[in-house]
Amino acid sequence: MRQILSFAHFSDPHLPLPSGRPGRLRDLAGKRLLGYLSWRRKRHGVHRPDVLAALLADMSGHALDHVVVTGDLVNIALPDEFERARAWLEQLGTPDGVSVVPGNHDATVAMPWQTGIGLWQPWMESDGGGAGFPFVRVRGPVAFIGVSTAVPSPPLLAIGTVGRDQAARLAEALDRAGRDGLFRVVLMHHPPMMIHGTARTALTDRREVQAVLRRCGAELVLHGHHHREHLGYLPGPGDAAIPVIGVPSASAAAHGHTQPARWIRFTVAGLEGGWHLGAEVRGFVEGGFQTTSRFAIGYEARAAA
């Protein structure tokens, strides 16, 4: 077995809002106001910039070929939040080395593409500069396929939707990457299955996405959204099982029932006749990050190219 690619996954950094009232008063109308009040009342104590800074410092001490972030960079989708998030992405890494998909907080309200999520487009483009979702970025033997589940939703809902057209393009991307013999990693904010919640926070068309995965296959699905560790499986083609893995918020301190921050270092290696996926979970414990668990998944169905 030989190491082929090492990459990091974290999610839901929820970059902090300014300490004072942000923006203009009219910018806090509707769902943004509810989100702002939630931030001031509780969430600012959960999502701490010092925890996120410690996570990034810990990541920098590991050999990584790529970094993936599965959404919720911002909190209430104010215009200056997107600008500050872009500046943060520029510090995190080059667009070639970092892949991002948006989350439901990034779509708290509808925003023009060019002043909202579109500011992060360099980190969400397909190879060759193609815009739109899903994007496909091939790094070594791994195809990172980024799906957007970010849609505005009514107050008190945190749903996501892929949509029929994007699901069809996802199927095409999975088929193409499969024919090319690549290890296919699907990135999405909402998990494609019901976990840790109710329909109020779920992916509305998860069954349709599950059908695509069952028909086309994938080697790994990574998500965030629920701010909790998660390891589950969905059926793939034949007898294959597709691992679905989620992580807590990257900025979360231990606070009540909140799980503290985690990130995962994945290593993809080729075997004779298959793949090997190694995972090292790094968790925030007593003010710093340390290895909290390790696991591995073997694949026999597809050989490394």
Determine the distance from the C-alpha atom of residue 11 to the mean position of all C-alpha atoms in its chain, rounded to a whole number: 5
User: What's the CA gap between 169 and 164, in Å, rounded?
Assistant: 9
pLDDT confidence of 302, banded at 50, 70, 90? Answer: very low
3: pLDDT strictly greater than 90: no
pLDDT of residue 304: 38
pLDDT digits (tens, 9 = 90+) for 84-122: 999 999 999 999 999 999 999 999 999 999 999 999 999
Task: With cut-offs at 50, 70 and 90, classify the pLDDT of residue 192.
Answer: very high
Q: Does domain 2-16+29-299 sit in CATH 3.40.50.300?
A: no
Question: Best-predicted range by mean pLDDT among 32-36, 37-41, 143-147, 285-289?
Answer: 143-147
Q: Average pLDDT of 189-202?
A: 92
Residue with the larger pLDDT of the pair 28 and 193: 193
pLDDT (average), residues 173-188? 97
Answer whether residue 172 shows pLDDT above 60.
Answer: yes
Exposed/middle/buried for residue 299 (C-beta within 10 Å: 0-12, 13-18, 19+): buried
Domain boundaries of the chain, sorted by first residue:
2-16+29-299
pLDDT average, residue stretch 137-141: 96
